[in-house]
Amino acid sequence: TQPFIRIKLKEGIVSIGNKNIEFKPFHIVFYTHLLRQKIERCPYPDKLYCMDCYDCFIQINDLAAPGITEIMAKDYEIIYGQHSDHVYNFRTKWKDGIDLSKLRSDRSKINKDIIENLEDETLATYYTITSLRKWGGTRFGVRVEKGKIRIE
């Protein structure tokens, strides 16, 4: 079975089972956004298990939209405090949306951190950010079961 994944935003820690992984602020905010997609935007809320469903995966172009910057900024506020310069700088830098190349690059860095810390490639496939090329666009998401996610 898949271990629980706990996101501790304020501490910058992602816990998968008994492994604690320290994430950079942007990485934890980006990763948390993808996990929230599973919980909040699942088109099948009555289904207990995701299995091979990827309908909650988000198009990379949608991740780069200005509205997503504001959603992610709310998590930055949890990390740094509402009136922090870090939050202001994040909003200012990405007011027109987050650069696609940054999203792709940071996806790779997040996945590398997860794989190195879990030391189990099979298990890591459930927690790394998956990229699906479908219907003319790339979609990002995390395969872990939605019932295993805890965001604090």
What is the DSSP track for 7-76?
EETTTTEEEETTEEEE--HHHHHHHHHHHHHHHHS-S-TT-S--TT--TT-EEHHHHTSHHHHHHHHHHH
pLDDT tens digits, one per residue of 102-132: 999 999 999 999 999 998 999 999 999 999 9
In order of 97, 137, 152, the CA distances from 132 in angstroms are 21, 8, 28
The values of phi and psi at residue 28, to 5°, are: -70, -35
Euclidean distance between CA atoms 55 and 48, whole angstroms: 15
pLDDT 10s digits, 15-73 = 999 999 999 999 999 999 999 999 999 999 999 899 889 999 999 999 999 999 999 99
- Look at residue 100 in the predicted model and tell me its pLDDT: 94
Question: Tokens 């780069």 label which residue?
Answer: 64
Q: Based on the number of CB atoms within 10 Å of its own CB, is 102 exposed (0-12), middle (13-18) or buried (19 or more)?
A: middle
- pLDDT for 95: 95
Q: What is the pTM of this model?
A: 0.96
Predicted confidence at residue 118, as pLDDT, reads: 96
Distances (CA, A) of 72 to 2, 32, 50, 134: 26, 9, 24, 25
Strands 137-142 and 19-22: unpaired
The pLDDT of residue 85 is 97
- Indicate whether 134 pLDDT > 80: no
Q: What is residue 142's predicted lDDT score, i.e. its pLDDT?
A: 97
Query: How large is the greatest C-alpha to C-alpha distance in the chain, in angstroms?
Result: 42
